[in-house]
Amino acid sequence: MNYISQLIKLILELRTFILFWIEQSLSEIGTRLTGFGLSIWVYQNTHAVAQLSLVLFFTTLPGVLITPFVGALVDKWHRKSTIIFSEIGAATVTLTLALLLLTGDLQL
């Protein structure tokens, strides 16, 4: 029983971190699923594997190219502001894609 009470105490101490971790995990899953869904949409509309490959490539490329450089910069920036602005940017792009898809205006 002592282990359970210690575990509960630890969870309560890490509550903020756990909530942040869950939110970031869900955000990352949503971002990846958006790229995957977009690639499936492209394939369904074009039946071209080259177009599918390009969409997958260009949804992966920014993370590969930018991450090493931005990592060093983010250490110097205000972390909360950086996270908030990056999440707002990701949400804006996702909502724009969803709106374009729902209105039938999404094009290659």
Distance CA 52, CA 40 (A): 7
Residues 2-22: what's their mean pLDDT? 88
Which tens digit of pLDDT belongs to each residue from 27-80?
999 988 998 999 999 999 999 999 999 998 998 888 888 888 888 888 888 888
pLDDT of the residue at 48: 92
pLDDT of the residue at 50: 93
The model carries a pTM of 0.74
Q: So where are the chain's domains?
A: 2-103
Confidence grade of residue 13 (pLDDT, cut at 50, 70, 90): confident
Query: Which of 90, 46, 28 has the alpha carbon at shortest distance from 55?
Result: 46
Round to the nearest angstrom and report the end-to-end CA distance of the chain. 59
Query: Which of 83, 99, 75 has the alpha carbon at shortest distance from 27?
Result: 83
Which tens digit of pLDDT belongs to each residue from 18-38?
899 999 999 999 988 998 999
DSSP 8-class letter at 75: T
pLDDT of the residue at 1: 64
